[in-house]
Amino acid sequence: MFKKLLFSFLLIASSGAANAALITQSDSVTRQSTNFSTSLIFDLFDLGPNFELTKVSFSIDGDVFGSAEIESRDASASTIDISISVELTLFDTSNAPLVISIPLFTQQFEATAYDGTNDAGGTSGITYTGLTASQFVSESYTDALTLSAFTGTGTVSLGFGAKGTSTASGSGNLATFFETEASGDVEVIYEYRAREVSEPSMVALFGLGLIALGSLRRIKK
């Protein structure tokens, strides 16, 4: 028993020299139509008083998917600029954004003068399917307020939202139809380290270990 007690004291005393370590949690939001919002649950940092949280990082690997139907009804040829995007946001408990990913797809179409048929085809219109774009974004925080908000027992619920945006421009007379979907992979990473033990405390702990060892020897005699 005393040997185990001594080992524990020495282990704690030397833990201040330990390197920083990471805890990574992840969750995914499956592909669905925009706009939408949901909540993601993550564990708080809770390794006890011998460890301290030093950085929290949040990332979104976001994707936008879409289709577009365009018809130019102008009397002359024009260049049509098309874009689909989605703003994916992870929010803290006060609804402030922690990290934002905005995957964006862009395309140009050279339309002739209106060909007389409003079918998103022919020479004055076009139909796009299977459009997609991705963006990975990460943000890190080391301020005391954020570290405190993610330290404790239990879990934390973070809001996640997707807001789609679609545009077509370049002609004064455009008929358009868009559909957008989005998905995202979210990670929360805790970077932590063992709390530094002051030199007097280390000496005291070592002395306590020696006392325990001496007691063990007396018992054996």
Predicted local distance difference test score (pLDDT) of residue 200: 54
* Distance of alpha carbon 36 from alpha carbon 162, whole angstroms: 5
Q: At 18, which amino acid appears?
A: A
Question: Would you state the pLDDT for residue 166?
Answer: 96
Q: What is the mean pLDDT of residues 167-195?
A: 96
Least confident of 30-44, 56-70, 154-168, 205-219: 205-219
Q: What is the DSSP string of 133-174?
A: EEEEEEEEE--HHHHHHTBSSSEEEEEEEEEEEEEEES-SSE
Asked whether residue 6 carries a pLDDT value surpassing 90, the answer given is no
Give the pLDDT confidence of 8-55 residue by residue, as tens digits. 333 434 444 457 899 999 999 999 999 999 999 999 999 999 999 999
Determine the average pLDDT of the residues in 151-162.
Answer: 98
- Cβ proximity of 55 and 140 under 8 Å: yes
Arithmetic mean of pLDDT, 150-173: 96
Alpha-carbon span 190 to 54, nearest angstrom: 8
* Residue 214 near residue 2 (C-beta atoms within 8 A): no
Taking only the tens place, the pLDDT of each residue in 57-73 is: 999 999 999 999 999 99
**Which residues share a beta bridge with 129?**
none
**137 CB-side CA count, 13 A:** 17
* The predicted structure's pLDDT at residue 36: 98
17: left (phi over 0), alpha (psi -120 to 50) or beta: alpha
- Residue 204 confidence class, pLDDT cut points 50, 70, 90: low
Indicate the pTM of the whole model.
Answer: 0.80
Residue of 217, 205, 215, 202 lying closest to 17 (CA atoms): 202
- Compute the distance between CA of residue 141 and CA of residue 58 in angstroms, rounded to an integer: 9
84-111 exposure pattern, b = at least 16 Cβ within 10 A, e = fewer: bbbbbbbbbeeeeebbbbbbebeeebeb
Longest dimension (CA), the chain: 108
pLDDT of residue 196: 79
Query: pLDDT tens digits, residue range 93-105?
Result: 999 999 999 999 9
Return left, alpha or beta for 130; rule: phi > 0 is left, psi -120 to 50 is alpha, else beta.
left
Per-residue model confidence as pLDDT tens digits over 71-86: 999 999 999 999 999 9
